[in-house]
Amino acid sequence: MEYEENHVLSPDRKLTEAEQSLVWKKPASHRTSVEERRICKEVKRNWQRGEMKIATILLEGDAGSGKTQLAKALSADFGLPYTKVTCFADMDKTDVIGAILPVIASERLAKLAPEDGQLLQALYESDGFQSATHVLSALLNISSEEAAVKAKRLMKLAVEQAEGDTVEYRFYPSEIVNAFRNGYLLEIQEPTVIRDAAVLMALNSALEPDGSINLPTEVIHRHPDFVAIITTNRGYAGVRPLNEALRDRVQHTEKMDLPGKAVMIERVTAKTGYLNTRVMDVLADTILLLDQTARAHAIKGVAGMRSFFFWTDAVACGIGAKESLYHKVIYKLTTDPDEIKLLEEALERRGLFAALDAAEADIEAVLEAERGEERTARSSPDEEAIEIKSWGAIDSRAAGCRQGRRRNRVEEVRRQRRGRHRDFR
């Protein structure tokens, strides 16, 4: 893709096979946003300008506004391996730098609880270039925070078991150190939740343009290709303002909001294959209004693109829009009866409940008309029949989506009759 090739930051760099596998691959449903184009242009323009180089970027916005998706897209644009660290309140310096783990003797290992022994053995057998948190997270299929807690417990256990013995020690660098040393694109998710000032100081040092990190075994310097993308939510429960010193190291910031309705519909069409723009128009209006109402009433849930994707997908599979509204959108915002009532009243005042009913009634009417035409075509073989093509992306759906596929085919036939450049209203 020409757009991606034009923004590869180090075209002469040869990635290993493992590193190449970490470069994000854009799915067919990806749509390049204004923010993505702007960041690519600015980073590429300044990449060889020394002190003016842009390599630390802040994406700040509401949950569901596409921050992580944008960070991954930049990995593809820049041609850099993508990795991430999800921050949590009790992070300490070992989560930023890494940890030293004693390699205890096999006979002592055998005396441990089976699970603990197996986990320590898995860490010992890893290549030492992955963080202990990453190894445990992948092995146990748990979150980074849970893996960090488990890694600390295992380290304490290993130290206790090694007392009195001459042991070998192995250093396990953090994901931050791996990215910093090897020149990856690192997404730092929610550093605002960190409570320990020492952790923030370590992050500050890593984000300096000519920064270095003091490891127990060596001092490492920032790789020239290292790019840090800080992603943080606005006004989210438990989130404090971004540390001033950390914010000062940012060279480019994007304010992330829900995209405009036209872009929302384009992305959902690409993601789900659903073609009915009239229904999607009403769904998008509903998402936008619920988002605004939740903000106005300090409701802490989120109505964003994820909700829009899954709600549209449910409708495409034949589930009623009003029925699926609660399970895909409203209950993600809140399950409090009083807050739900506020949201329902806002939808009622805007006429969106009625709009959803009208859209579905119209679709059913068109569907019934098409059934009649199909019956007529079958009973009159000499007359020209309407060819209704199936669409590959939709035909791959499960059997439960047949009604949605039929609605899509009906919608396409109707568009063909009214002209390619006119949506039915």
pLDDT of amino acid 120: 77
Tokens representing 275 are 């073609």
103-140: per-residue pLDDT in tens? 777 777 777 787 877 777 777 776 555 667 777 777 78
- In whole angstroms, give the CA distance from residue 282 to residue 262: 12
- In whole angstroms, give the CA distance from residue 409 to residue 386: 11
The DSSP 8-state label assigned to residue 228 in this structure reads: E
pLDDT of amino acid 210: 86
Tokens representing 189 are 């998710």
Q: Which residues are within 8 A (CB) of 126 and not within 5 positions of it... i.e. 6 or more apart?
A: 135, 172
- In whole angstroms, give the CA distance from residue 361 to residue 316: 15
Asked if residue 232 lies in contact with residue 239, where contact means CB atoms within 8 angstroms, the answer is yes
The dihedral formed by the CA atoms of 135, 140, 143 and 144, expressed in degrees to the nearest 10: -20
Tokens representing 253 are 């910031």
Other beta carbons within 10 angstroms of residue 54's beta carbon come to: 18
Q: Coil, strand or helix: which one is 232?
A: strand
Full-model pTM = 0.72
Q: Which residues pair with 252 in a beta bridge?
A: 57
Write the CA distances from 58 to 46, 184, 191, 318, 409, integer angstroms: 17, 16, 11, 40, 43
Residue that has been written with the tokens 């009239």 in this structure: 278
| Numbered ranges of CATH 3.40.50.300 in the chain | 1-257
Tokens representing 240 are 């404090």
CATH topology for the 1-257 domain:
Rossmann fold (3.40.50)
Asked if residue 120 lies in contact with residue 158, where contact means CB atoms within 8 angstroms, the answer is yes
Bridge-based pairing state of the strands 56-61 and 227-233: parallel
Would you write out the chain's pLDDT as a tens digit for each of its 425 residues? 434 447 899 999 999 998 999 999 998 878 888 999 999 999 999 999 988 999 999 999 877 788 999 999 999 999 999 999 888 888 888 888 887 777 777 777 777 787 877 777 777 776 555 667 777 777 788 876 777 777 778 777 777 776 666 667 778 888 899 999 999 999 999 998 888 888 888 888 888 888 888 888 789 999 999 999 999 987 555 456 788 888 889 999 999 888 888 888 988 998 888 888 888 999 999 999 999 999 889 888 888 888 999 999 998 888 888 889 999 999 999 999 999 999 999 999 999 999 988 877 876 776 677 778 888 877 765 544 444 444 334 434 444 565 555 555 555 545 544 443 344 33
Tokens representing 106 are 């096999």
Residue that has been written with the tokens 């199936």 in this structure: 390
- What is the number of helices (H) and of strands (E) in the chain? 21, 9
340-391: per-residue pLDDT in tens? 999 999 999 999 999 988 877 876 776 677 778 888 877 765 544 444 444 3
Q: What amino acid occupies position 195?
A: R
Tokens representing 120 are 């320590």
Tokens representing 258 are 């829900």
Which residue blocks in 112-208 are alpha helix, DSSP H? 114-125, 132-140, 144-162, 175-182, 197-206
Tokens representing 28 are 């067919």
